[in-house]
Amino acid sequence: MGAGLPSYNGLVAHCYKTLTHPTPTDDKEWLWPDRMLGALESRYTPANVRQIVATRLNRRPTSLALHRAILRLSRLRRSEGMRLVTTNFDTFFEKARRGLDFGRDFQYHAGPILPIPRDDRAASWRSLIYLHGRLGGSDQHLVLTSSDFGRAYLTEGWAARFIVRLFADFTVLFLGYSLNDPVLRYMTDAFAAENLEMRSGQP
């Protein structure tokens, strides 16, 4: 948001406004903005809604200071590459790397095609991960709506597989609003409960 992009709720509101569709006024509906966006796609087609999303998020950033700071934190010590996961769709991290000494070490992967996040010498993960998809690829793979979340974490499960392995092999630092993504919050709570049981000696 510091770079001039809307929050997720702001993005949903922008889609409603652009399509001149009445914006829900009930606060309870805004608890599930992914469902609201899904309702728009059902009425106006996914292609129309995703084009509006892409146009809104493809604007020039107002500032990349925070992106550059996060990129510096993501650099690996004593080895090449980086480890960074974002649930954003925009390419501001790629823009922010200019002027930083990444060279050829800067790589990215975008859902649903993701590496296995292993922490070993033979097959160590070293890249920027667009967990919920990346603008500039296939917009149908962006995790925008409740049905998208269902596919990514349940029926197809590619995002869930990545997150499970990520939590198993790494200590994860959350920045910004990523932990508010519904399924990520559920999975984090599940892992926390599992770790608590292990520490208490319960099966």
How many C-beta neighbours within 10 Å does residue 47 have? 10
Residue type, 162: F
Structure confidence at residue 177 (pLDDT): 63
Q: Whole-model pTM? A: 0.87
pLDDT bin (cut points 50, 70, 90) of residue 77 is confident
Cα gap 150→127, rounded to integer Å: 25
Q: Is residue 165 a contact partner of residue 116, using CB atoms and an 8 Å limit?
A: yes
Cα gap 29→55, rounded to integer Å: 25
% of the chain exceeding 70 in pLDDT: 86
Structure confidence at residue 124 (pLDDT): 77
Q: Average pLDDT, whole number, for the chain?
A: 86
* Spans of all domains in the chain: 8-57, 65-200
Stretch 127-136: mean pLDDT: 93
Closest Cα partner for 70 from 3, 115, 8? 3
Question: Residue 75 corresponds to which tokens in the numbers above?
Answer: 């650099």
